[in-house]
Structure 1
């Protein structure tokens, strides 16, 4: 497999891929159905999206496993097997020239005392997911769109228990705080101290709205920075559907600023497509 830690130390910029949900919906994913479960039934469609991102220039592909934890799957599939299969699918497209990031999203549950899940239960849930991703050929573990620092910490511990892969983590902020009230500097300090290899922010906003968050994080960062904005702010269309209207060229022009600010890696989140990544 490619050496992701070596790439982080190198001089080259790393271009991540973009969103998957909207693309999969346009290719047959029924509303309300888990993309992860549907991916088991339609792997050729998921592989097709991976190929489009590689053709667009992405050097890092994200596995179709964002909701692949036991909490999200709720017994509908074997967690370790699903994650292994989705990672292997991305690996088959990536070959030896593109990295595969094993995606691990939030569980939808809170750790005690905010919720009813113990810290060790959360670690165990993430560990089985990450074991599958590592077995399927992921080059790194990517915790993305996290908004609770305790859950993010559990993910990092689980990754260290499950494998020796590098760990990247992106937090999502509303303004300058996560949903559970952690500011960017607190997140940077806490997660860097746990030894993450790549750290940053994603989702929640378009490139222009993310600049303040990135500028706040930069002075304390001692690891490379990853930024993955949405294709603009979400809007509701005339049918009540959430849409992201920032066109590829405008997205690329705005998101390229993060490289100027010092980001090692940039990609896209909600609403972005292979066209957005090609322009970037």
Structure 2
């Protein structure tokens, strides 16, 4: 985490659920309503600062081109984000950090949907650049439910040079509503260069503590926790909320705040314990890669990739056949950029990690962009060493 962002860090609480209680109609485009009612937002943000928040999130949750269009609006993304960040900066002053907020696009990439992945990445790039130009101190990509959105959001946010936090919405099953487990999310986000990773919008504190304790053994970056305080059928008061958060801090979280239903009073109670120090689990020296739903820990002593599989239509049977063999990874040769989508269409069907070999920098870049997880890259690719490292680093791959 950047030096100007202190740890532990106390974030703010909910925005939209409080605005509903302060007069915002249901089924509205919150960002638009805020522009017409700026004082309501700013009063809430000032209350968070008074409660002890060290960082306040600008209300740009749905200010991306995809969500704007789904609401039938035609706002300019840059102008909308700059206006909302500007309102926040005026409310909190210069001594409190302002976070730019990016969340889900609602777009589903190929092969499960009809949106090219580059389009999703560009939606995030447009908003991330707007937030950067608006002057936010860092970007938090939150309430994400798919690996595809999470990867695109972090890649785009990192391109701005700003610190980036990323959280996924945790359900009671231990996964997001779209089935994304926490550990593949953690490993992929850290590999992409996220500065902090975590969970938000959850109610099961016991489960959250278990997940945080596990993640602390694998990651070297700060862990974020933002529990909910009010959801349908669930409400927790400020003092109990602070008790829950203390458990999360003891489990290993170092950046903490509130999600749906939390208020300035919840944050005020939380501020009373944020200064305490808790022992941190030292991460193990683990080499791990993952698909979107499975983690693979590697062992140098017995790592044995498969024979090369040429990426082509019909390769599905070749990949599935490997699971009957004693191999550590599926080694796939990529010849041209067009091969990348073919691999993306089939890679999710195997329970083996994917190892990519290519002598074409453009093809390798496209393949790593589309792979939804953390892939391996064969170090014997005939690509300049520095260029190979640069490509792998950008997309979070492991050269092996």
| Match in the other structure for 1:259 | 249
Deviates more, 1:261-270 or 1:72-81: 72-81
* 2:264 equivalent to 1:274: yes
Distance 1:46 1:112 in 2: 38
Distance 1:143 1:235 in 2: 24
* 2:196 equivalent to 1:198: yes
1:145 to 130, 143, 146: 143
| Match in the other structure for 2:222 | 224
Deviation at residue 251 of structure 1 after TM alignment: 0.5
| Match in the other structure for 1:21 | 16
| Match in the other structure for 1:249 | 239
Kept in 2, the 8 Å contact 1:84–1:134? The answer is no
| Inter-CA distance 29–63: structure 2 relative to 1 (3 Å threshold) | same
Deviation at residue 187 of structure 1 after TM alignment: 0.9
- With a CA cutoff of 8 Å and minimum separation of 6, indicate the structure with the bigger relative contact order: 1
Kept in 1, the 8 Å contact 2:226–2:257? The answer is yes
| Inter-CA distance 80–51: structure 2 relative to 1 (3 Å threshold) | same
Deviation at residue 47 of structure 1 after TM alignment: 1.1
Deviation at residue 208 of structure 1 after TM alignment: 4.1
Kept in 2, the 8 Å contact 1:207–1:230? The answer is no
Deviates more, 1:207-216 or 1:218-227: 207-216
Kept in 2, the 8 Å contact 1:111–1:150? The answer is yes
Distance 2:75 2:205 in 1: 36
* 2:96 equivalent to 1:106: no
| Match in the other structure for 1:165 | 162
Q: Which deviations, in whole Å up to 9, do the C-alpha atoms of 1:72-108 show, x marking residues without a partner?
A: 1113311111111111211222322211110111112
1:235 to 223, 232, 237: 232
Kept in 1, the 8 Å contact 2:209–2:251? The answer is no
Deviation at residue 215 of structure 1 after TM alignment: 2.4
| Match in the other structure for 1:6 | 3
Distance 1:38 1:76 in 2: 14
Which structure 1 segments of 5+ residues have no match? 237-243
Kept in 1, the 8 Å contact 2:138–2:163? The answer is yes
Distance 2:203 2:62 in 1: 21
- The normalised TM-score by structure 1 is 0.90
Kept in 2, the 8 Å contact 1:203–1:228? The answer is yes
| Match in the other structure for 1:240 | none
Q: Secondary structure at the match of 2:156?
A: helix
Q: How many residues align?
A: 266
- The normalised TM-score by structure 2 is 0.64
Kept in 1, the 8 Å contact 2:208–2:248? The answer is no
Deviation at residue 206 of structure 1 after TM alignment: 4.7
| Match in the other structure for 1:80 | 78
Deviates more, 1:212-221 or 1:114-123: 212-221
Distance 1:264 1:204 in 2: 17
Kept in 2, the 8 Å contact 1:37–1:77? The answer is no
Distance 2:206 2:258 in 1: 13
Q: How does 1:176-195 map to 2 (within 5 A)?
A: 176-195=174-193
Distance 1:215 1:109 in 2: 32
Q: Secondary structure at the match of 2:268?
A: helix
Q: Which deviations, in whole Å up to 9, do the C-alpha atoms of 1:107-138 show, x marking residues without a partner?
A: 12212222222111011111111122112221
Q: Secondary structure at the match of 1:106?
A: coil
* 2:91 equivalent to 1:93: yes
Kept in 2, the 8 Å contact 1:56–1:275? The answer is yes
Q: Secondary structure at the match of 1:113?
A: coil
Largest Rg, 1 or 2? 2
Kept in 1, the 8 Å contact 2:103–2:141? The answer is yes
